Homo-oligomer: A and B are copies of this chain.
Amino acid sequence: MPKELSVRVVGECCQLATTTMDDAAAARIAPMFKALGDPVRLRLAAMIAAQDEICVCDLTPHFALSGPTISHHLKILREAGLVDCERRGTWVHYWIQPAALQSLSTLLQAPIPR
């Protein structure tokens, strides 16, 4: 087994390499990536991030999907902690959670690109 030959250059790629990605950490973080792993949700997240906040009624027209389906995708983004929302009168407003995006970004970031 070539274990001795693959010299441990730990930490030279990115945080992903140095972070203790045990079972629990993976189970906590994976749902966030999973939420962004759907084209509709990725576009929804981008549209929400592009403004201070945005009404669902402004999101729906951009997709060839029913209201319930958009609502379902928004719920997944919400449960992943990537967005939050509040009802104000008739409309529900969504906004991005920058800290969540930042934590994912840091995880993937390469301080010492090779």
- Residues of chain A touching chain B, judged by Cβ–Cβ distance below 8 Å, are 1-3, 6-11, 13-14, 16-19, 21-23, 26-27, 29-43, 45-47, 49-55, 57-58, 91, 93, 96, 98, 101-102, 104-110, 113-114
Contact = CB atoms under 8 A, between A and B. Distances in A.
What does DSSP make chain A's interface, helix, strand, loop or mixed?
helix
B6 A50 contact: no
Assembly stoichiometry (copies): 2
A65 B96 CA distance: 36
A55 B21 contact: no
A73 to B, nearest CB: 12
A43 B21 contact: yes
Contacts of A45: 16
A37 B33 contact: yes
